Amino acid sequence: MDEAQLAQVESLCETLYTGQPSGNGEKITREEAQSRLLSLQSNASFIPQCQYILDRSKSQYALLVASNSLTELITSHWNNFTIAQRIDIRNYVLGYLANNGPTLQDFVTLSLIKLVCRITKLGWFDDATHRELTEDVTKFLQATVGHCILGLKILNQLVDELNIPTSGRTLTQHRKTSVSFRDLCLFKVFQLGLTTLKQLQTRAISTANHREEVILGEQALGLTVRCLNFDFIGTNPDESTEDVGTIQAPTNWRPVLQDPSTTELLLDFYANTDPPRSNKAMEAVILICSVRRSLFPSDKEREAFLGRVMTGIRELLKNQTGLQHQDNYHQFCRLLGRLKANYQLSELVKTEGYLEWLELAASFTTQSIRNWQYSTNSIHYLLALWGRLVAAVPYVRPETGAKGHVQALENHVLRVVECYIESMLGSVETVLRSEGALEDPLEDDGSLMEQLDRLPTICRFQYSSVATILVGKFDPLLEKYREIMSHLVNSSTESAPPNVAQQAAILEGQLTWLTYMVGSIVGGHSWSSSRIGNGEETLDASLSKRVLQLAQGMDYRLTSSNGVGKADSKLEVAMLYYFQNFRRVYMFMWEQSSSGSSSISTMGSMKLESVPSTKQKVYQNMFEHMGLGDHTVVANLIVTKIGKNLKFWPDEHDIVAKTLNLLTDMAGGDSSSKLLLTLDTVKYLASHHTHDEFPFLNVPSNARHRTTFHAILVRLLLSPGGEEKLGLTFDKFMKPIVETMSQLGALDSSQLRSEAARMPLIGVFRDLRGICMSLHNRRTFGMLFDIIEPQHLPLLPKVADLWYDQPDVMISLLRFMHEFCHNKANRVNFDQSSPNGILLFRATSDVVCAFGRRTLATATPATGDIYKMKYKGMSIALAVLNSALGGNYVCFGVFALYNDPALDSALDISLKMALSIPLDHVIAYPKLSKSVFGFMEIIFRNHIKTTMALDTSIFMQLMNAVHEGLQSSDAQISSMCANSIDHLATFYYENSGKDKPEVHNLNKHLSAQPNLFSSLTATLFNLLLFGAPQNHWAVMRPMLSLMLASESSFTAYKDHLMRTQDSANQGKLNEAFNKLLADVNRSLESANRDRFTQKLTAFRVSTRGFLTL
């Protein structure tokens, strides 16, 4: 590289990162600039050019590109360098950082640091020099302040690099390096971080100004946290969760972690700095508090450590140190929540000042809850602390530790719960009066559910007292709400005078909170033997009664006003949450209860126990205390509410979705589904499932809910005894849908394509899909097939032909066809003499061909969402045909025998659709690619004769697509493509030399493209040796069949690979190939395939260690 080329690179970098055109006047887009600069990463020979840029360039962007390119080249071509070369590159970059680091921009520095750390990781076992990076960095720490900051950044990146697996390396390689780093260096790195913090605390770094001290503090604290967060034992903790697991620190860390000065240092940093340093310090304290129990040699040391932590927390709570900062506050809540997770309650109660700590923690919790608007995302950590404390009470003797600790805990828990109830009820009015300035905690679904998940344990600890508080809040609110509703009568809340509307909104908000709380607490009922029978069910009944009375009141108003008098949608969602929890806890016993309460056995010779079980007693006691009637009355009330929601809330997507989820769960349970069949409301739903009764069915955005609704009803109808109990046959249930189909079928083409037919068409196909989803056996599928065939099947291709360009109609039709053709549980299984399988395939072929022909004749839209407008329909159409071709219910040879074009037409149109889509688009859309490559795999597997009969140009286009798909990062796609190659190679190996038309056709294709097998062999071996690990199993499958089909291709690849290696590697590679081929037979039997696959794995592992690219 010379100065002119350097100037060109700098210009391209400027364009890439700033978007400004280059200085030489040439107009280049960012994409073109990126494409040109990426060539620097294409080959190891570009390393000198990258070094030249680093040495000569003044452009920070050029330095960044050079550094990133070096990192990529070193990672990809690691085996190309000798050990000495690797050390030279490492020393060069370290020297460059030492000389220029403090003057470089941060982004360049970080990129260079990443390069040094990557070299260190990859070369860890090559030479001791790589393992001495920590010592080298110590020199940085002892130089200028700028170098000290640089050194800490290197250590931070080094810990990250050694802790996080690198793409392309096996987990075994990663853990081997990681463990060695842990044993040799990590503790020293941790100590360097702490030493820097001590120096900052004592102002020992006198040359640093305030800004540099802040940066040093951030880097040192970050390093401390990273070291403590290190994956010490390879458990790969889930990084998506905020909760800290146990820190498995090695034993030699004990003196530092146990030393009081370590915790004091971090707490001092927390107290005397601002975020982000203070919250990082608190995070480090959380991690130290989470170290494994066995790190301490005895309970005495552990108790002393816990005592110090408790004292530190008490001091922070007393002084409210740093808690005015949101980030500090959040981390402190995490610390409190984490404390009980890592220590037993029996240990906590023995610590000095436990009762004072409990008092302070309770005060802090209540203060946080009262200031909910600042702490919404942190409250659940505090609730988790109290939940863990009360859950452990049964396992601690009352006389252990501080006197009266159980009584103190009971008092504080009650105080916390009462404060929570008061504050959440008070929040409603505060939010309302803020006029949008404050976020409503009821609308923060994630945080709300976090809190509700933790409520049951806390509330059930003092359940009687908590229930009394809740009842005391619920009754007056319910009374006031009834009073307001009686004034509003049949008018909506919005039409009321402003003061009445506001009062109603406050009451509904407060009732929403109470409904959520009761739902949460009732959902926490335990059927375990230790808790059952202690009378808690009567408290559940008392609270549930009020919620159900509220539901009845809301229903009455809704019905009497014909849907005008609606409650707040949030209250409706809370009611559904309550119903879900009530169903989960109190619905699984309904069948037993109803059979147990019957005096006469209906089970023939089986005698029922005369004495009900404890669970049945509790269950019956629950409904007796509720005083609303037996379980069937309550179930009917819930289902009635479901019906009213579906009838009167058609436009509220969330309410409709959650209502149907509730109905799905009720219909999915064995005993609850049997109970549903006895309810009048369910009978009404099953016999009136039209949009006249339930307007939500006619709302376009609810189209998928139509499918769910009908799937639930058919599941109930076709369950054992369903038709009899509901007083409805499947034919009668289908009548409204059949009538609509008949009306649509009678329309001429112009009427059928009119806007008036759009919603009926979408509705019918969505409904049919839902019905089809609930057909799980031959009998029930046959019932639907007999209704649709032959009268209504002709409608389907007609619709496909007329509505091909309207995605909403076509997607509904094609999704129904996909479900209808899907032979799940072998349900599409007709009699031997039945032509139904062929008729079903014909109808499928007609739909796919009608849609395919019209779509192929239509130009691809230049604007808009191309996937939604065109590719989505093509994707589902191919999936429909894939289901039909792979369903195993059609003898496809019949079509050629009787000159029926259905199969050939379907294959021809589908192939044209698959090949009409640009390959980069196919790869870009995952669902589309699965349909396209799934289709290709099926035609190679089951229709090889048709595939071989294609024109050579089309066949090669097909093979090119398979070749590209084989290299996909999606394991499922690469697997389908590998199977396609396996089917082709197996066919060629088993039929080569035979006088068959398809063999002659394949030979013709191979004559036109003689390197087909050799290119596939090379790609498969390259993927095996150099590709991503997730694709290995997929690419191994066709290797044996391909080697047997074309031994010359394998030999050519072997020779080529040999030539790319030096003489030392050639000997090793030849030995590895000899081992691979030893004891492998020339056959494609399963045992031989499996043996060869195992050998391929061993071959890959042995060669990856020395192969150079």
Query: 932: burial class by Cβ within 10 Å (0-12, 13-18, 19+)?
Result: buried
- Tell me how far apart the alpha carbons of residues 895 and 904 are, in angstroms, rounded to a whole number: 8
C-alpha 883: how far from its chain's center? Answer: 27
**What DSSP character marks residue 471?**
H
- Tell me how far apart the alpha carbons of residues 793 and 364 are, in angstroms, rounded to a whole number: 69
Instruction: For residue 1079, report the phi and psi dihedrals to the nearest 5 degrees.
Output: 60, 20
CB 47 within 8 A of CB 70: yes
Q: Record the pTM.
A: 0.84
CB 911 within 8 A of CB 939: yes
Sign of CA pseudo-dihedral 282, 285, 289, 290 = positive
Return the pLDDT at 337.
81
Sign of CA pseudo-dihedral 674, 677, 681, 687 = positive
CB 357 within 8 A of CB 310: yes
Which parts of 445-535 fold into alpha helices (H)? 445-459, 463-488, 498-523
Return the pLDDT at 236.
58
Return the pLDDT at 605.
34
Which amino acid type is present at position 444? Answer: D
Q: How confident is the model at residue 604 (pLDDT cuts 50, 70, 90)?
A: very low
Say yes or no to pLDDT of 943 above 90: yes
C-alpha 1074: how far from its chain's center? Answer: 44
Give the largest CA-CA distance in the chain. Answer: 101
Return the pLDDT at 600.
30
Distances (CA, A) of 1106 to 174, 178, 690, 1048, 1063: 17, 21, 69, 25, 12
Average pLDDT estimate for 655-670:
90
Q: How confident is the model at residue 243 (pLDDT cuts 50, 70, 90)?
A: low
CB 40 within 8 A of CB 69: yes
Tens of pLDDT, residue by residue over 12-66, are 898 888 877 655 556 788 888 888 888 888 888 888 889 899 988 989 999 999 9
Query: 324: burial class by Cβ within 10 Å (0-12, 13-18, 19+)?
Result: exposed
Other CB atoms within 10 Å distance of the CB of residue 561: 17
CB 576 within 8 A of CB 655: yes
Return the pLDDT at 22.
56
Say yes or no to pLDDT of 610 above 50: no
Average pLDDT estimate for 671-678:
86
Lowest mean pLDDT among 176-180, 559-563, 829-833: 559-563
CB 145 within 8 A of CB 211: no
Return the pLDDT at 608.
37
Instruction: Find where tokens 């032979």 sit.
Output: 823
Q: Phi-psi category of 1031—alpha, beta or left, where left has phi over 0 and alpha has psi -120 to 50?
A: alpha
Count CA within 13 A, CB hemisphere, residue 422: 13
Distances (CA, A) of 315 to 343, 846, 1002: 20, 78, 83
C-alpha 243: how far from its chain's center? Answer: 18
Say yes or no to pLDDT of 531 above 70: no
CB 1053 within 8 A of CB 1021: yes
- Tell me how far apart the alpha carbons of residues 517 and 522 are, in angstroms, rounded to a whole number: 9
Average pLDDT estimate for 1056-1061:
87
Return the pLDDT at 238.
46
Instruction: Find where tokens 């002892």 sit.
Output: 142
Return the pLDDT at 393.
87
Query: In this structure, what token pair is assigned to residue 431?
Result: 């939010």
Return the pLDDT at 886.
92
CB 614 within 8 A of CB 533: yes
Query: In this structure, what token pair is assigned to residue 411?
Result: 């008092």
* % of the chain beyond a pLDDT of 90: 48
Count CA within 13 A, CB hemisphere, residue 895: 19
Say yes or no to pLDDT of 242 above 90: no
Q: Which residue has the higher pLDDT, 1035 or 1016?
A: 1016
Say yes or no to pLDDT of 480 above 70: yes
Lowest mean pLDDT among 221-225, 342-346, 1008-1012: 342-346
CB 699 within 8 A of CB 657: no
Return the pLDDT at 528.
66
Say yes or no to pLDDT of 596 above 50: no
Query: In this structure, what token pair is assigned to residue 910?
Result: 């589908």
Average pLDDT estimate for 821-828:
92
Instruction: Answer whether the bond into residue 21 is a cis peptide, omega within 30°.
Output: no
The neighbouring-strand residues paired with 247 are: 291
Nearest to 875, CA basis, from 947, 932, 820, 923: 932
In DSSP notation, 634-682 reads: HHHHHHHHHHHHHHH-TT-HHHHHHHHHHHHHHHHSHHHHHHHTT-HHH
Query: In this structure, what token pair is assigned to residue 1065?
Result: 């590697």
**What DSSP character marks residue 628?**
S
Return the pLDDT at 529.
52
Which amino acid type is present at position 244? Answer: V
Instruction: For residue 609, report the phi and psi dihedrals to the nearest 5 degrees.
Output: -65, 135
- Tell me how far apart the alpha carbons of residues 738 and 783 are, in angstroms, rounded to a whole number: 13
**Beta-carbon contacts of residue 610 (< 8 Å; ≥ 6 apart):** none
In DSSP notation, 39-67 reads: GGGS-GGGHHHHHHHHHH---HHHHHHHH
Nearest to 1076, CA basis, from 1065, 1060, 1087, 1091: 1091
- Tell me how far apart the alpha carbons of residues 285 and 276 are, in angstroms, rounded to a whole number: 14
Q: How confident is the model at residue 261 (pLDDT cuts 50, 70, 90)?
A: very high
How many residues comprise the chain? 1109
Average pLDDT estimate for 362-376:
88
CB 691 within 8 A of CB 767: no
Helix, strand, coil share (%) of the chain residues, nearest 5: 75, 0, 25
Other CB atoms within 10 Å distance of the CB of residue 1055: 9
Q: How confident is the model at residue 840 (pLDDT cuts 50, 70, 90)?
A: very high
Average pLDDT estimate for 1006-1025:
90
Helix (H, G, I), strand (E, B) or coil at 898: coil
Lowest mean pLDDT among 135-144, 240-249, 486-495, 874-883: 240-249
Query: In this structure, what token pair is assigned to residue 736?
Result: 């409204």
Tens of pLDDT, residue by residue over 162-187, are 998 887 777 788 889 999 999 999 99
In DSSP notation, 611-633 reads: SPPHHHHHHHHHHHHHTS-SHHH
Nearest to 882, CA basis, from 823, 953, 962, 959: 823
Nearest to 780, CA basis, from 817, 737, 734: 734
Say yes or no to pLDDT of 912 above 60: yes
Say yes or no to pLDDT of 935 above 70: yes
Tens of pLDDT, residue by residue over 974-983, are 999 999 999 9
**Beta-carbon contacts of residue 931 (< 8 Å; ≥ 6 apart):** 874, 875, 876, 878, 879, 882
Q: How confident is the model at residue 109 (pLDDT cuts 50, 70, 90)?
A: very high
Q: How confident is the model at residue 898 (pLDDT cuts 50, 70, 90)?
A: very high
The neighbouring-strand residues paired with 291 are: 247
Which amino acid type is present at position 986? Answer: T
Say yes or no to pLDDT of 251 above 50: yes
Tens of pLDDT, residue by residue over 481-497, are 988 888 876 777 777 78
Average pLDDT estimate for 527-536:
65
CB 969 within 8 A of CB 926: no
- Tell me how far apart the alpha carbons of residues 963 and 981 are, in angstroms, rounded to a whole number: 9
Return the pLDDT at 377.
81
Which parts of 320-404 fold into alpha helices (H)? 326-342, 345-348, 354-370, 372-375, 379-392
Q: How confident is the model at residue 240 (pLDDT cuts 50, 70, 90)?
A: very low
Q: How confident is the model at residue 599 (pLDDT cuts 50, 70, 90)?
A: very low
Mean pLDDT estimate for the chain: 88
Contacts 24+ apart (CB under 8 A), 556-561: 557/485, 557/488, 558/644, 558/648, 559/644, 560/489, 560/490, 561/489, 561/490, 561/491, 561/492
Return the pLDDT at 1064.
83
Quote the radius of gyration of the chain (alpha carbons, Å).
36
Tens of pLDDT, residue by residue over 125-158, are 888 999 999 999 998 888 888 899 999 999 999 9
Return the pLDDT at 1005.
94
